[in-house]
A and B are shown apart, each in its own frame.
Chain A
Amino acid sequence: MFQIVKKRILNPSVTWMEVTAPHIARKVRAGQFIIFRVDEHGERVPLTVADSNPDAGTITLIFQIVGCSTMKLNALQEGDSILDLVGPLGLPTELPEAAKKICVIGGGVGCAIAYPQAKMFHKAGLDVDVIAGFRSKEIVILEEEFKQNCSELILCTDNGSYGRKGFVTNALQDRIDAGISYDTVIAIGPILMMKSVCELTKKYQIPTIVSLDPIMVDGTGMCGGCRVTVGGKIRYACVEGPDFDGHQVDFDELIRRNGVFREREKECRMMQLADNKS
């Protein structure tokens, strides 16, 4: 059992949790993920680890409440325990070779994954700019954390209610137009956002790494559910990823594959809502 030490509501649909998991805390690196199962009847769901504290034996999870399992997880309070937590899984993010100036782009809850990467690069002495995009001011997360771990933070909102108005791609275009040259771009967020960023960076031939979040069951290469096409080849995101060369990823296929259980997920969500009310 893995106890929730602290819980914070970052915005109405994003929750922050610090969970006791000493073995994982000791080993986990930026970019790696865990798989949780809330209770006996729950699914196994992957979540990227946002932070870790090996001394306290805790890891930080930041998640968006999107489906049945994240609703169940969010229903737990400080002092409650998650039944199963396994990790660290996947390969850690690597420092891009010879990169000096990089841009980390996070979209929405993807910022939770972008944050540990920005922190790692910043600590390694790289010049890190962060572009963090959200729909609106109310859902902005991790602003302070990013500020402390980058050279410059560009916040943007789709509706202009906070920071720069527009999408992260608009902000990146500004930077490129202003003559700033990045050795590498790292984009983490909704698949469509990563796809747009990659289309832009391809034009300027800036190497771009994305972190993928396909459906998976075991997280150790056994089910093959997480297979994604990268550079025309089948790759398993759980053991060969989750980071891949964004210019090689077949994003449209990933969008389709991630929708396989959409109907069932809707039903589950309704049932969970009904449960929570009763």
Chain B
Amino acid sequence: MPNMSKYKTPVPEQNPEVRARNFEEVTLGYTEELALAEAARCLNCPSKPCVSGCPVGVRIPEFIKKITEQDYAGAYEIIHSTNALPAVCGRVCPQERQCESRCVRAKNGEAVGIGRLERFIADLHQDKDQHDAIIKKTDSNHHKIAVVGGGPAGLTCAGDLAKLGYEVTIFEAFHVAGGVLMYGIPEFRLPKAIVQQEIENLKSLGVTILTNMVVGKVFSIDELIEQGFEAVFIGSGAGLPRFMGIEGEALVGVCSANEYLTRINLMKGYREDYDTPVLQSKSVAVVGGGNVAMDGARSALRMGAEHVYIIYRRSELEMPARKEEIHHAKEEGVEFLTLQNPVKILGDENGRVSGIVCQKMELGEPDASGRRSPVPIENSEYELPVDTVIMAIGTSPNPLIRTTTQGLEANQRGCLLVNESMMTTKQGVYAGGDAVTGAATVILAMGAGKSAAKSIHEYIQKKGK
């Protein structure tokens, strides 16, 4: 019998007051009992609208049916066949805008908790032996492929190619693979041990990962091709942080969200046993309304700040962050200052941040993005005393590869140009993820990595003939 409750089976979470001061995971995940209750809400409808909402095409009703049958290994096999990073996606995908937005149950109540169920299954198989027992390594076809960047796009592309038998080598610039999953998304939302386990699982598929390799510096793309890689996938992300260009951005205490989060997440600055220093703040302004802004704000609370403000120039309705992140941030005590825009950062006699001047805004006509654009209200400036300003207003693609590779074309924003099969303007060189789209989400990057893997496979097969 299907569970006809209008609401998702609630998922246990850490108490907001407690979790706002620790880096433990916020959402604890379903128990078997809860997962079975939620899986029973799926009507297994024949049209499967949810699947069309998934950038990597997870066969959602099929894996949920396996859960109802308590065949968890079967559910894992189905998910993993199209999604190389299920434990990650179950936690960070904006499901409300993808699979769950198309669920028929959402027409009268809440959608099936697809993300929560995906996470439940993935977490059951985090153990390497369990993973390896279900997911088998494919025999090598002796074709070598290079993947530049070990983030979501690169990992997915590598995983899919490895499943087809390709010998894949990932070149990662940092000392550890994972990209934004390691440096950007905080531990309390995506535990790093889980990311590393997913990467270990890719290694058991035969993927080689070389860290400390900045392609464009240590090797050029052409040198990779000379080394015998028959195709290259560029998934180097959108790493360059934007600043606003307002007065005071060079003051001590102003940093990009990238820097703040990298120090805390990748470099584990929140832990006493790591050397990495992090700004010690009492009062923090985070500028921006996306997931990165929420991550920065919630991290600042956990680092001990007394006041953390989100400053966003539109209204909450236009915020690009996941609903859950906004909800969690509010629960934890982040103060939202919407329809406000910083115009100047103030400093004290030592060049340290002492405040931020904001201007109030109102919403005007919709702009190119379809969202109503903010219009400044004259003479509405006021001063907010803060000692730290974190800029989370977006990032642009890194020019390192583009500027060191001949024949690789990009648009005005620095995004690599690709055709419908994800090939760049250079033969045999593919690209996807933020390097092509500009800053977007983990799952869209994964979808791009997946499409590119398919195209690379077709390219190599054609070449062989």
Q: Is B214 an interface residue (CB 8 A)?
A: yes
A55 CB, min distance to chain B CBs, angstroms: 18
Given contacts A83-B175, A86-B173, A260-B252, whether A221 and B398 have CB atoms under 8 Å apart is yes
Q: Contact partner of B400 among A83, A221, A265, CB < 8 A?
A: A221
| B263 / chain A contacts, CB cutoff of 8 Å | 217
Cβ < 8 Å to A, chain B residues 254-290: 255-256, 258-259, 262-263, 267-268, 273-277, 279-280
Given contacts A69-B275, A220-B173, whether A87 and B217 have CB atoms under 8 Å apart is yes
What does the 1/0 interface line of A223-235 toward B look like (CB < 8 Å)?
1110101000010
Who on chain B is nearest to A226 by CB?
B259
Q: Is there contact, CB below 8 Å, between B240 and A257?
A: no
| A256 / chain B contacts, CB cutoff of 8 Å | 252, 350-351
| B212 / chain A contacts, CB cutoff of 8 Å | 84-86
Q: Is there contact, CB below 8 Å, between B241 and A41?
A: no
Q: Contact partner of B275 among A68, A234, A260, CB < 8 A?
A: A68
Q: Is there contact, CB below 8 Å, between B258 and A220?
A: no
Q: Is there contact, CB below 8 Å, between A218 and B174?
A: yes
Once the chains are docked, how many angstroms separate the CA of A259 from the CA of B400?
29
Given contacts A23-B219, A83-B175, whether A257 and B275 have CB atoms under 8 Å apart is no
Given contacts A218-B174, A224-B255, A256-B351, whether A43 and B267 have CB atoms under 8 Å apart is yes
Q: Is A247 an interface residue (CB 8 A)?
A: no
Q: Is A27 an interface residue (CB 8 A)?
A: yes
Q: Is there contact, CB below 8 Å, between B262 and A220?
A: no
Q: Is A42 an interface residue (CB 8 A)?
A: yes
| B183 / chain A contacts, CB cutoff of 8 Å | 218, 222
| A83 / chain B contacts, CB cutoff of 8 Å | 175
- Chain B interface extent, by class: 35 or more
Who on chain B is nearest to A258 by CB?
B252
Q: Contact partner of B273 among A27, A41, A88, CB < 8 A?
A: A41
Q: Is A144 an interface residue (CB 8 A)?
A: no
Who on chain A is nearest to B398 by CB?
A221
Q: Is B57 an interface residue (CB 8 A)?
A: no
| B45 / chain A contacts, CB cutoff of 8 Å | none
Q: Is B196 an interface residue (CB 8 A)?
A: no
Who on chain B is nearest to A88 by CB?
B217
Q: Is A44 an interface residue (CB 8 A)?
A: yes
B25 CB, min distance to chain A CBs, angstroms: 22
| B255 / chain A contacts, CB cutoff of 8 Å | 223-225
Cβ < 8 Å to B, chain A residues 114-138: none
Once the chains are docked, how many angstroms separate the CA of A88 from the CA of B219?
10
Once the chains are docked, how many angstroms separate the CA of A85 from the CA of B218?
12
The main secondary structure of chain A at its interface with chain B is mixed
A168 CB, min distance to chain B CBs, angstroms: 27
Q: Contact partner of B240 among A221, A250, A264, CB < 8 A?
A: A221
Q: Is there contact, CB below 8 Å, between A223 and B211?
A: no
Given contacts A27-B218, A85-B212, whether A222 and B239 have CB atoms under 8 Å apart is yes
Q: Is A172 an interface residue (CB 8 A)?
A: no
Q: Is there contact, CB below 8 Å, between B214 and A86?
A: yes
Once the chains are docked, how many angstroms separate the CA of A89 from the CA of B174?
13
Q: Is B250 an interface residue (CB 8 A)?
A: yes
Q: Contact partner of A222 among B249, B252, B258, CB < 8 A?
A: B258
Who on chain B is nearest to A85 by CB?
B212
Once the chains are docked, how many angstroms separate the CA of A229 from the CA of B250?
8
Given contacts A227-B250, A253-B250, whether A222 and B217 have CB atoms under 8 Å apart is no
Once the chains are docked, how many angstroms separate the CA of A264 from the CA of B211?
29
| B279 / chain A contacts, CB cutoff of 8 Å | 260
Once the chains are docked, how many angstroms separate the CA of A217 from the CA of B276?
10
Who on chain B is nearest to A257 by CB?
B252
Once the chains are docked, how many angstroms separate the CA of A85 from the CA of B351?
33
Q: Is A24 an interface residue (CB 8 A)?
A: yes
Given contacts A222-B262, A229-B250, A257-B250, whether A264 and B277 have CB atoms under 8 Å apart is yes
Q: Which 3 A-B pairs have the closest CB atoms?
A: A223-B259, A256-B351, A222-B239
| Sample (24) of A-B pairs whose CB atoms are under 8 Å apart | A27-B217, A43-B276, A69-B275, A72-B275, A85-B212, A86-B173, A86-B214, A87-B218, A88-B217, A88-B218, A218-B183, A218-B239, A219-B214, A221-B239, A223-B258, A223-B262, A224-B243, A227-B250, A234-B250, A239-B400, A257-B250, A261-B277, A265-B277, A268-B275
**Contacts beyond the supplied A37-B175, A256-B350, A265-B277: 17 A-B pairs with Cβ under 8 Å:** A23-B219, A42-B275, A43-B276, A44-B267, A86-B175, A218-B183, A218-B239, A218-B262, A219-B214, A220-B173, A220-B398, A221-B239, A224-B243, A234-B243, A239-B400, A250-B250, A260-B279
Question: Contact residues of B with A, CB < 8 Å?
Answer: 173-175, 183, 211-214, 217-219, 239-241, 243, 249-250, 252-253, 255-256, 258-259, 262-263, 267-268, 273-277, 279-280, 350-351, 398-400
